[in-house]
Amino acid sequence: MEVGFLGLGIMGKAMSLNLLRHGFKVTVWNRTVSRCDVLVEHGASVAETPAAVIKKCKYTIAMLSDPSAALSVVFDKDGVLEEICSGKGYIDMSTVDSDTSSKISEAITGKGGYFLEAPVSGSKKPAEDGQLVILAAGEKALYDEVIPAFDVLGKKSFFLGKVGNGAKMKLVVNMIMGSMMNAFSEGLVLAERSGLSQQTLLDIVDLGGIANPMFKQKGPAMIQSKFPPAFPLKHQQKDMRLALALGDENAVSMPVAAAANEAFKKARSLGLGDNDFSAVYEAVKIPDCSADA
Ligand SMILES: NC(=O)c1ccc[n+]([C@@H]2O[C@H](COP(=O)([O-])OP(=O)(O)OC[C@H]3O[C@@H](n4cnc5c(N)ncnc54)[C@H](OP(=O)(O)O)[C@@H]3O)[C@@H](O)[C@H]2O)c1
């Protein structure tokens, strides 16, 4: 199967390398061209524009940072829309809101192409290991056709129905995750300020009902103030923002998520946006000045 791949960030690089490793022919494009080099070393071809990728490949996957990047790659000059046509499929695996996904879907299908949104749950390591969870929605026929690629990229794929359902499910999952990371950070700070060992807290949490892979994996690095980016904090804050907007639309009160979003915004304002999202711990550590007023 020949597959196009647009966007070679943390996730896109790992995913396209996986496809190459499993015998797919892959043609890549990335805004910053130098990021294509490592893929070429592993056998990928490079195209000069998103349109050129679409022209060459029957199926093209995108893995881009946010709604504005996802829209730009489709609608701007030399974008996906210029070459998409009947018989071609476009699979956007970026995390975006359902409105963005619907706009892209309408444009692609308006030109006769097939569209699938397929955001993923799982971070850098699961992407490297082909262990993502794929949350697809849109054209079922396209979903069935690209299952061989999804089987390489993920450990499980869900087909969730109409366009928007994959985007919404992903935002719900990441809203829970962002709130959990804030509660965890507050716990670590509270333990330290109370004179307790943070390592002992990690050991105790890991033995009980609130044990989970995220705390286990991130905790030891967090207590050493190390935040190597697996899931960049700026993207987690984008997901909180989009999840809160989904809450607005559906009149769901989400005070926990709203507070978590504020902490991620504070972390961004401290220049931590390109660190792992666990760096919200650094923002939580800073005493709240308003409490002194
Ligand atoms: N990392 C994770 O753990 C994880 C897990 C699940 C889902 N996601 C989601 O997956 C997507 C990608 O995440 P990532 O961690 O791979 O992010 P990343 O490392 O920041 O990569 C972002 C990619 O988007 C491209 N891009 C950004 N703005 C663009 C624009 N205006 N036009 C064209 N390309 C643009 C970047 O190109 P340049 O190289 O030129 O900057 C890069 O290829 C995001 O939606 C994220 O929320 C991430």
Q: Using 50, 70 and 90 to split pLDDT, how confident is the model at 291?
A: very low
Q: Decide: 15 in ligand 1 pocket, CB within 6 A.
A: no
Domain boundaries, the chain: 2-162, 168-292
Residue given tokens 């043609």 in the structure block: 27
Cβ of residue 130 lying under 6 Å from some atom of ligand 1: no
Q: How far is residue 24 from each of residues 42, 58, 152, 182, measured CA to CA in Å?
A: 11, 13, 10, 40
Smallest Cα–Cα separation from 276: which of 227, 209, 219?
A: 227
State residue 289's pLDDT score: 53
Averaged pLDDT of the chain: 97
User: Taking residues 9-31, what's their average pLDDT?
Assistant: 98
Q: Give me Rg for the CA atoms of the chain.
A: 20
Q: Which residue has the tokens 């507070």?
A: 259
Q: Given a cut of 90, is residue 27 above it in pLDDT?
A: yes
Same fold, 2-162 and 168-292: no
Which superfamily, per CATH, for 2-162? NAD(P)-binding Rossmann-like Domain (3.40.50.720)
Percentage of the chain exceeding pLDDT 90: 97
The residue from 170, 218, 234, 238 that is catalytic is 170
Residue 1: per-residue pLDDT: 81
> How large is the average pLDDT for residues 6-17?
98
Ligand 1 close to Cβ of residue 94 (< 6 A): yes
Give 157-177 pLDDT, tens digit per residue. 999 999 999 999 999 999 999
Pocket test for ligand 1, best of 48, 64, 92, 120 (most atoms within 8 A of CB): 64
80-132 pLDDT, tens digit each: 999 999 999 999 999 999 999 999 999 999 999 999 999 999 999 999 999 99
Q: Which fold has domain 168-292?
A: N-(1-d-carboxylethyl)-l-norvaline Dehydrogenase; domain 2 (1.10.1040)
> In angstroms, rounded to a whole number, what is the distance separating the alpha carbons of residues 64 and 83?
19
User: CA-CA distance, 82 to 288, in Å (whole number)?
Assistant: 51
Q: How confident is residue 287, by pLDDT bands cut at 50, 70 and 90?
A: confident
Q: Per-residue confidence at 213, pLDDT binned at 50, 70, 90?
A: very high
